[in-house]
Amino acid sequence: MLRLFTWWNGVTLGGLFDIKRRSQLVGTDEYGNKYYEDRKVSIERRHRRYVIYDGYAEPSKVPADWHGWLHHTLDEPPTEKPLNRREWEIDHKPNMTGTLFAYHPKGSLNEAGKRQASDADYEAWTPDA
């Protein structure tokens, strides 16, 4: 029932039917996302490209090589021509903003700490001064 009306839990049934009807599967990534490309050329004179997320629709789960292919930066999909990784590149970390695992700096109200005073600490402006 959720697939009928909620796009954030994955693609809706209507969207899935439409994409599979007029597109072809190009590949999948390590997160289970599936990537499609239209068979016909669109108005913009290029093939439209789609991603169907595996589970919750989280765009930060799209790897860099597939992101480049989706946005027509790369012509060939990573299944045909993989992106070269450098030794200084690190693996993807999901966006944790708004979750219990979000980063909270020292002194944050969420960390129940006190703010450190600085050398030139803030002084409120008053019209009398």
3-state secondary structure of 23: strand
> Token digits for 95?
């966006």
> Can you give the pTM of this predicted structure?
0.66
Q: What is the pLDDT of residues 3-61, one digit of tens each?
A: 566 666 667 777 778 888 889 999 999 889 999 999 888 777 888 999 988 877 788 88
